[in-house]
Copies of this chain bind each other. A is one copy, B any other.
Amino acid sequence: MDKFYIGGIDIGGTKIAAAVAGPDGPMIRLVQPTAKTGKARALPEQTVSLLEAACERAGITKDALKAVGVSSCGPFATVDGLLNLATPNICGGRTPDSDLPNDWVVIPLEQVLREHFEHVVIENDCVAALIAERTYGALQDVADCAYVTWSTGIGFALCVDGHVLRGKHGNAGHAGHMLMSESDPAKCGCGNVGDVEALCSGRHLGKRLNMSASDLLNAAHAGDKAALEEVRRAAQWFGRALYNLTATLDTRCFAIGGTVWMYHGDLLLPIVRHEIESRLPALTEGVSIVRAALGRLAPDIGSLCLVSPPEWQQHWRQTSPWQKLM
């Protein structure tokens, strides 16, 4: 049998990445700013071009790719049985006051990719990261777990009884839009008032003190009292969100990634932990919070996990070949 290869695509609101991998691991990863002008096909066509460029750099043809895995920001919408992107961060036509340079309502991601590749698997980027952490990272052998990214936004992917949750349109895990506060006027990009993202995502952190999230977190680290109080408040909301998921799903372990947690987890962890452990012992006893192991590459590694053969995974588990991309 000819040697075969797989492709991985990661679609975010700011950038897209394309990777090519063979049996011994990822060979190349290319990054570009996310296309947001032209027709709605522009973005999926950009991912195909970037993957072709990655193939060329890896010294193979596009036809050598036997399968392509895609991790993408959501939410998704199913149109005529095919998965479309319906994310307000990219589609200008989804919210009346959008400042994006397009009027896209949905992006025909699956349709365009299927015109180029025979085998395509698309997952929410947090789901892909969860699968990566379960395959190679901090959530190996944990049946009841969640991957959480605390960054500009707050995303979740959920696994119960060893089953990764998708839901009716593959949108399970949008718990960042769970309502938490009825009195805080914080408003989310989705229109909600008082949801998890509005209360503590990087996009909103620091707003009340007219600071950026990173300035706020650095000031808190330096001991500034007002900043510390604001960070404590955000960590409480985040912890209450994790408690809500624990009560709902009887979760055992949360693996947390994202820039806010990666750089400031030491400050945030005790506050978050207290919000969980101080409630309903039958559900919260034994819940653990760990740091996501694969860092910013988790969705990329996840996109490859979606289509890589089990024997590759066993080999990669021993060699961690993605480290050369880090």
Which of these binds chain B: A4-12, A61-69, A166-174, A219-227?
A166-174
Tell me, yes or no, whether A245 is within 8 Å of chain B by CB: yes
Find residues 135-170 in chain A having any chain B CB closer than 8 Å to their own CB: 143-144, 156, 158, 160-161, 163, 165-170
- In the bound complex, residues from chain B placing their C-beta under 8 Å from that of A158 are 248-249
- In the bound complex, residues from chain B placing their C-beta under 8 Å from that of A143 are 168
Give how many A residues have a beta carbon under 8 Å from the other chain's beta carbons: 49
- Bound together, the chains give a CA A309 to CA B312 distance in angstroms of 41
Tell me, yes or no, whether A110 is within 8 Å of chain B by CB: no
Residue of B nearest to A87 (CB): B282
Which of these binds chain B: A28-36, A178-186, A296-304?
A178-186
| A275-301 vs B, Cβ < 8 Å mask (1 yes, 0 no) | 000011011001000000000000000
The majority secondary structure among interface residues of chain A is loop
Indicate if the CB atoms of B183 and A250 lie closer than 8 Å.
Answer: no
- Bound together, the chains give a CA A175 to CA B169 distance in angstroms of 22
- Bound together, the chains give a CA A60 to CA B45 distance in angstroms of 70
Indicate if the CB atoms of B167 and A144 lie closer than 8 Å.
Answer: yes
Tell me, yes or no, whether A46 is within 8 Å of chain B by CB: no
Indicate if the CB atoms of B283 and A174 lie closer than 8 Å.
Answer: yes
Q: A158-B248, A161-B166, A183-B183 are in contact. Are A171 and B75 (CB under 8 A)?
A: no
The smallest C-beta distance from A24 to any residue of chain B, in angstroms, reads 33
The smallest C-beta distance from A167 to any residue of chain B, in angstroms, reads 2
- Bound together, the chains give a CA A280 to CA B174 distance in angstroms of 10
- Bound together, the chains give a CA A203 to CA B126 distance in angstroms of 38
- In the bound complex, residues from chain B placing their C-beta under 8 Å from that of A279 are 177, 190-192
Tell me, yes or no, whether A247 is within 8 Å of chain B by CB: yes
- Bound together, the chains give a CA A244 to CA B173 distance in angstroms of 11
Indicate if the CB atoms of B182 and A181 lie closer than 8 Å.
Answer: yes
Q: Which residues of A contact B (CB under 8 A)?
A: 74-77, 86, 143-144, 156, 158, 160-161, 163, 165-175, 177-184, 190-192, 240, 243-245, 247-252, 279-280, 282-283, 286
6 contacts across the A-B interface (CB closer than 8 A) = A77-B282, A160-B165, A161-B163, A165-B250, A172-B249, A182-B184
Given A161-B167, A172-B248, 20 further pairs, Cβ under 8 A? A75-B280, A76-B282, A77-B282, A86-B282, A158-B248, A160-B160, A160-B172, A167-B250, A171-B250, A173-B248, A174-B248, A174-B250, A177-B280, A178-B248, A180-B180, A182-B182, A183-B183, A191-B279, A192-B279, A248-B248
The 10 A-B pairs with the shortest beta carbon distances in the complex, nearest first, are A167-B250, A75-B282, A171-B250, A168-B252, A144-B168, A172-B250, A175-B248, A177-B247, A178-B244, A160-B165
